[in-house]
Amino acid sequence: MSPIKIPIEPFKIKSIETIRPTSREERAKILEEAGFNLFNIPAEKVFIDLLTDSGTSAMSDRQWAGLLSGDESYAGARSYFRFDKAVRNIFGFKHVIPTHQGRAAERILFSTKLEPGQQVPSNIHFDTTRANIEVRGAEAIDLVQDQAYDPDAKAPFKGNMDIGKLKAFIQKRDKEEIPLVMMTITNNSGGGQPVSLANIREASAVCREAGIPFFIDACRFAENAFFIKQREEAYSQKTVLEIAQEIFSYADGATMSAKKDALVNIGGFITLNDDSLAEKLRNNLIVTEGFPTYGGLAGRDLEAIAQGLDEVLEESYLEHRVGQVAYLWELMAEAGIPLYGPPGGHAVYILADRFLPHLPRDLFPGQALTVALYAESGVRAVEIGGVMFAQKDKETGEDIYPKLELVRLAIPRRVYTGAHLQHVAEGFKTIYQKKEMVQGVKIVYQAPQLRHFTARFELV
Ligand code: F0G
């Protein structure tokens, strides 16, 4: 077998942040104090942090320069106009409304547009999107193709919406019951898998025919567009910018967490065509986020987003970016570690229930694996399984577990090198060799909502 190739960094390093390894004894004590929940561990005690790719990007020299030239005027800042232009160049919608991050965009949109009892289909809603729909008393519906739930299915676009299901869903209801349809690209809650342009076009046509607005959750649009270029034949000769422009041409608007594909540490926006909705969103924004030309951000943040949106579409960057995910995936697959496949755009997902077959779902194999990984190598990952997504049975109050029990290794953008990724894979290999020794966990404290952030566990 030929050795797995390390993707080359299309940048050199100008500023560094020291990371320090901890000892095994120290980590055991830290885990105990953290109630075996990795969210409770100080980041300084983490050697390689793959908790999230959100807000963790390394900014470029040009973004840092942008921070100094940010215009901090309350209204009509120069930085706003630069941001507005950069967003409109890619997304093409008439209105651009800044927010402090993605979920603020979701809250503003849904609290303005949704009524109790309405339903919002998507391929798979991300958890903050779902939560912002549910707090309105509306329902978030996932209509992804079944293959998204099959970790072994080999398909290029496992994030695709099931168009048949979408049509059937719309046909059964009055238009008024469905205020909008969403599409998450890439599909974070389904293995970070991309959606094809053909699927976006079809979903859009179904919505247009029904007269229902179609919105895109665009957090990782550039990674998705790059997969389209690589995997969808008709697009191999287009630039990533052209592909992104075509994606958004089929939509009526988008919500964006700039903390992902705008390569910044904070920020987001809503962008759309509908004048009267935009006016309502701005009025809503003023109450909680700020004046519509800064929306909860500093002028310098808007500069950094504008610059980041330019850099994220560079193909050498994207090749390295999705190359790093594929590299880590291949290192782990080669060692026989059970993975969700194929590799997605921002993260590697481990099938924790297959990795630890001796642990039943009520001993949370995903959480147990994150604990074992930190104990072994100081790497922080996140459980995406029974702890994060169990639903409560309405009668018995017992947990109903989600289909997949995953551990996600989300790779921050432009932060780690191939050697760091090798360290992560080595940690997993060592645990895999003694996997029967990994203990399960039981919950000793949980909050009523989003329990994974603050839950405490004991080893079993
Ligand atoms: N939509 C998707 C698909 C996301 O992945 C996220 C965040 C959001 C919306 C919300 O954006 O964090 O800026 O408010 N995902 C992060 C993650 C937190 O770790 O996957 P936000």
Domains of the chain, residue spans: 24-53+314-459, 61-311
The yes-or-no answer to whether 24-53+314-459 and 61-311 have a common fold is: no
> CA 270 to CA 215: how far, in whole Å?
10
Distance 127 CA to ligand 1 centre (A): 8
What pLDDT, on the 0 to 100 scale, is given for residue 245?
98
What pLDDT, on the 0 to 100 scale, is given for residue 8?
96
> CA 404 to CA 389: how far, in whole Å?
10
Quick one: average pLDDT of 443-459? 93
How buried is 399 (Cβ within 10 angstroms: 0-12 exposed, 13-18 middle, 19+ buried)?
middle
Smallest CA-to-CA distance from 272 within 307, 302, 248 is with 248
Instruction: Look at residue 408 and tell me whether its pLDDT is greater than 90.
Output: yes
The CATH homologous superfamily for domain 24-53+314-459 is Aspartate Aminotransferase, domain 1 (3.90.1150.10)
> CA 238 to CA 311: how far, in whole Å?
17
61-311 CATH pick, 3.30.360.10, 3.40.640.10, 3.40.50.2300, 3.90.1640.30:
3.40.640.10
Q: Is the dihedral of CA 126, 270, 344, 197 positive or negative?
A: positive
Q: pLDDT by residue (tens digit) across 187-222?
A: 999 999 999 999 999 999 999 999 999 999 999 999
Q: pLDDT by residue (tens digit) across 362-400?
A: 999 999 999 999 999 999 999 999 999 898 888 998 889
Distance 103 CA to ligand 1 centre (A): 7
Q: pLDDT by residue (tens digit) across 105-131?
A: 999 999 999 999 999 999 999 989 999
Q: Is the CB of 103 under 6 A from ligand 1?
A: yes
Distance 146 CA to ligand 1 centre (A): 23
Specify the residue with its C-alpha closest to ligand 1, atom 11: 102
- Kindly give the residue spans of alpha helices, DSSP state H, lying in 335-364: 352-355
Quick one: average pLDDT of 55-72? 97
What pLDDT, on the 0 to 100 scale, is given for residue 397?
85
Distance 455 CA to ligand 1 centre (A): 20
Query: Across the chain, what does the average pLDDT equal?
Result: 97
Using CA atoms, how far residue 235 sits from 5, 65, 162, 226, 408, in Å, is 26, 34, 22, 10, 30
Q: pLDDT by residue (tens digit) across 291-306?
A: 999 999 999 999 999 9
Q: pLDDT by residue (tens digit) across 220-240?
A: 999 999 999 999 999 999 999
Using DSSP bridges, classify how beta strands 399-400 and 391-392 pair: parallel, antiparallel or unpaired. Answer: antiparallel
Q: Is the CB of 217 under 6 A from ligand 1?
A: yes
Strand partners, 139: 119
Q: Is the dihedral of CA 324, 30, 39, 338 positive or negative?
A: positive
What pLDDT, on the 0 to 100 scale, is given for residue 59?
98
Strand partners, 308: none
> Length of the chain, please?
460
**Closest ligand 1 atom number to CA of residue 186:** 3
Specify the residue with its C-alpha closest to ligand 1, atom 15: 54
Specify the residue with its C-alpha closest to ligand 1, atom 2: 126
Q: Is the dihedral of CA 117, 121, 122, 123 positive or negative?
A: positive
Distance 53 CA to ligand 1 centre (A): 9
Q: Is the CB of 196 under 6 A from ligand 1?
A: no
pLDDT range class, residue 1, cuts 50, 70, 90: low
> CA 227 to CA 235: how far, in whole Å?
10
Quick one: average pLDDT of 402-422? 97
What pLDDT, on the 0 to 100 scale, is given for residue 180?
98
- Proportion of the chain above pLDDT 70, given as a percent: 100
Q: Is the CB of 107 under 6 A from ligand 1?
A: no
Q: State the first-to-last Cα distance of the chain, in angstroms, to the nearest integer.
A: 40
Task: Reply yes or no: is the peptide bond before residue 129 cis, omega within 30 of 0.
Answer: no
Specify the residue with its C-alpha closest to ligand 1, atom 9: 102
- Say how many C-beta atoms besides its own lie within 10 A of residue 443's C-beta: 20
0.95 exceeded by the pTM?
Answer: yes
Structure-token pair, residue 387: 């702890």
Q: pLDDT by residue (tens digit) across 347-360?
A: 999 999 999 999 99
Q: Is the CB of 348 under 6 A from ligand 1?
A: no
Distance 3 CA to ligand 1 centre (A): 34
